[in-house]
């Protein structure tokens, strides 16, 4: 499958790993929007939030377990923001479900 994040997970495209376990891979965004900008992805290919089902939602739960670990590892003691863009209106560019972890400064109070 021609998926950028699947290639990053398997290691054929390099990335800066922040956290990894059997279900989750987390790495630095190549175009950071904040001092800390990490992407967390399930190791199984799910195209977007629209692809989450009762059968695969455990992978999403594992991401939410990983988020506080990645945030702590990145020193985000004063809070952070988690975003997942789904589909064209949200400008999703990579069609493998991912969660942006943003922090390291006061973020804009308007989300969109």
Q: Which residues are catalytic?
A: 98
* Token pair recorded at residue 42: 């399930």
Short-list 65, 27, 49, 102, CA closest to 111: 102
Cβ nearer to ligand AMP, comparing 12 with 77: 12
- The residue written with tokens 């195209």 in the block is 47
Q: How far is the CB of 111 from ligand AMP (least distance, A)?
A: 14
Short-list 21, 35, 48, CA closest to 81: 35
Q: How far is the CB of 29 from ligand AMP (least distance, A)?
A: 5
Residues at the contact surface with ligand AMP, assessed by CB under 6 A? 4, 13, 15, 29-31, 39, 85, 91-94
Cβ nearer to ligand AMP, comparing 23 with 86: 86
Cβ nearer to ligand AMP, comparing 14 with 79: 14
HSE-CB at 24 with a 13 A cutoff on CA atoms is 25
């Amino acid at each position: 499958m021609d998926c950028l994040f699947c290639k990053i997970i398997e290691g054929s495209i390099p990335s800066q790993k922040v956290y990894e376990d059997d279900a989750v891979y987390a790495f630095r965004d190549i175009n950071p929007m904040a001092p800390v900008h990490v992407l967390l992805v399930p190791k199984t290919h799910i195209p977007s939030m629209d692809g989450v089902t009762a059968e695969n939602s455990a992978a999403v739960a594992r991401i939410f377990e990983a988020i506080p670990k990645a945030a702590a590892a990145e020193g985000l003691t004063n809070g952070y923001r988690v975003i997942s863009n789904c589909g064209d209106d949200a400008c999703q560019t990579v069609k493998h479900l991912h969660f942006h972890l943003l922090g390291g400064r006061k973020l804009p109070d308007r989300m969109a």
